[in-house]
């Protein structure tokens, strides 16, 4: 018997064809943003802000097209909707969620936010170079007000009680500031004892071995080798990636064109080395999503927390492990001539895992990193709630850094202006970095059971087994599940800080001999 195609099926096909162009436009915007950070001449910022504003307006019109709303209504009210499989129901849910949210946002607010974002990023770069927060402040104030307006509008449609929760939901659906406050308070209590034991240990690493000057050209070659090890292709005729240079490393792109950036310092080669590992972790997630779901809502990544889990897994759990350096250290020695000929492997590994409170988030060690995030989370909450003003940010930032990490901020470039996120209109994102660390501990405990020889394989230069495990257990699901549901599917539980704390305790008790 030939199965006839029902009205609900036809409407679903029309819906998917209609929304297909949205990720295509968004991928084009991501490359324009990449160009703004890498290749665009300084004079181009005024035109670029207008280009991005125009494209954001076009994108908003596409997302809020009444045709999408009509098709959603027809599908959801049709008797056959209950027969839809999990994939189609999830696509409809994600499209409905996005449609409801975006139709609540005035187009002029979306366009103005994008225009102001481009201007604020440009001013942030100049202000950071000049260490001039007063130059940055007025543009940041405009951007914060725009984001607060959007957050207040999105509260009702997202079903949350605080404007900040509406922003968190953009990056980590289903997670609220109340959940994060509880998790982060417990995490902080668990990290402090590990930090104190590392700092009080008599076995401290010699980090002077990392201060040797490595020419930028050699560092670029190291980045290429790291990409090759991780199977991130940037050199072949079928390459889907690039490695470029920016002030603040990031990853952007979609499926077959996913680009990363890094920043090279001649007298700090590990900065680019670990940022390259981190960003390739992001790129691998995007490039290994199921190709059968391209252009569909379920064909996107699950959340930024899951993105950060993979970047932290690659950067830290793998990239700072003894096993990885057993494989890669001979190559580093050869490429850098005499710089490390006198340095033993274990001493090098201890040095790149040094625990020391610092001022800069991206340079932070595994034990103190989440404290940097907790500071930003607390400031963002108060900023979006209107409890503090932009002009107060430097003083609050400096005070929290002294209280939480015991470091004194000397200037705003190494303080409140060190990150690009606030200039880029990204509020509610910072918590996902800490969530990524927590997820990495939980998921590592499962990976170790299912791929028990992964450390041996890494020491032999073989990343393939871990990559395939990630594709099977994370990448293939795309956005089929909300992050907490995917976490439970993989680990059998919700957010749990203890596996991550256990990972840190095991690793650093060995390194610091406590």
Active-site annotation holder among 101, 112, 279, 315: 279
Residue 46 burial (C-beta neighbours within 10 Å; 0-12, 13-18, 19+): exposed
Of the candidates 244, 302, 287, which has an alpha carbon nearest to the alpha carbon of residue 94? Answer: 302
Helices (H), 85-176: 86-104, 107-130, 133-158, 163-171
Q: Do 497 and 190 touch, CB atoms closer than 8 A?
A: yes
Distances (CA, A) of 303 to 22, 176, 300, 378, 429: 18, 14, 9, 21, 10
Query: DSSP states of 38-77 as a string?
Result: HT--GGGHHHHHHHHHHHHHHHHHHHT-HHHHHHHHHHHH
Q: Do 170 and 428 touch, CB atoms closer than 8 A?
A: yes
d(CA 250, CA 208): 28
3-state secondary structure of 434: helix
107 is catalytic: no
**Sheet with 241-245, side-by-side order of all strands:** 241-245, 257-262, 251-254
d(CA 497, CA 374): 14
Angle at 246 between CA 242 and CA 250, to 5 degrees: 65
Rounded to 10 degrees, the C-alpha dihedral 307/310/311/312 comes to: 120
Tokens representing 8 are 């609900």
Residues annotated as part of the active site:
279
């Amino acid at each position: 018997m030939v199965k006839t195609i029902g009205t609900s099926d036809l409407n679903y096909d029309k819906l998917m064809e209609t929304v297909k162009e949205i990720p295509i436009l968004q991928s084009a915007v991501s490359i324009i943003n990449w160009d703004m950070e890498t290749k665009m001449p300084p004079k181009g910022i005024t035109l670029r802000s207008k280009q991005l504003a125009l494209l954001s307006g076009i994108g908003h019109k596409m997302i809020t097209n009444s045709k999408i709303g009509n098709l959603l209504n027809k599908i959801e009210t049709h008797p056959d909707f209950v027969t839809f499989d999990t994939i189609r129901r999830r696509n409809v849910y994600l499209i409905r969620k996005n449609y409801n949210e975006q139709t609540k946002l005035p187009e002029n607010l979306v366009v103005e936010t994008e225009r102001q974002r481009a201007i604020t990023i440009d001013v942030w770069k100049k202000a950071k170079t000049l260490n001039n927060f007063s130059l940055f402040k007025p543009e940041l104030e405009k951007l914060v007000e725009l984001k607060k307006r959007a957050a207040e509008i999105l509260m009702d449609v997202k079903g949350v009680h605080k404007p900040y929760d509406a922003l968190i939901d953009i990056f980590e659906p289903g997670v609220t500031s109340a959940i994060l406050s509880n998790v982060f308070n417990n995490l902080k209590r668990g990290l402090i004892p590990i930090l104190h034991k590392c700092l009080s240990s008599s076995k401290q690493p010699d980090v002077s071995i990392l201060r040797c000057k490595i020419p930028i050209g050699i560092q670029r070659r190291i980045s290429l080798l790291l990409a090759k090890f991780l199977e991130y292709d940037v050199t072949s005729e079928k390459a889907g990636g690039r490695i470029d240079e920016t002030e603040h490393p990031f990853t952007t792109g979609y499926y077959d064109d996913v680009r990363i950036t890094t920043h090279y310092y001649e007298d700090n080669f590990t900065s680019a080395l670990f940022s390259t590992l981190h960003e390739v972790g992001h790129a691998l997630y995007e490039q290994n999503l199921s190709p059968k779901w391209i252009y569909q809502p379920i064909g996107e990544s699950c959340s930024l927390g899951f993105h950060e889990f993979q970047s932290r897994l690659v950067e830290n759990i793998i990239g700072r492990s003894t096993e990885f350096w057993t494989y890669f250290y001979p190559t580093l020695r050869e490429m850098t001539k005499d710089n490390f000929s006198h340095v033993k492997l274990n001493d090098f590994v201890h040095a790149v895992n040094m625990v020391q409170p610092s001022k800069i988030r991206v340079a932070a060690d595994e034990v103190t990193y989440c404290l940097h995030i907790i500071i930003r989370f607390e400031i963002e909450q108060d900023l979006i709630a209107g409890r503090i003003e932009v002009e107060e940010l430097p003083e609050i930032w400096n005070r929290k850094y002294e209280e939480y990490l015991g470091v004194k901020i000397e200037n705003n470039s190494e303080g409140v202006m060190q990150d690009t996120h606030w200039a880029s209109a990204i509020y509610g994102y910072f918590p996902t970095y800490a969530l990524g660390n927590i997820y990495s501990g939980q998921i590592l405990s499962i990976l170790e059971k299912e791929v028990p020889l992964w450390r041996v394989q890494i020491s032999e230069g073989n990343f393939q087994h871990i990559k395939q495990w990630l594709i099977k257990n994370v990448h293939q699901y795309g956005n089929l599940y909300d992050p907490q549901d995917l976490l439970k599917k993989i680990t059998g539980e919700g957010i749990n800080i203890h596996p991550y704390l256990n990972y840190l305790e095991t690793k650093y008790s060995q390194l610091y001999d406590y």
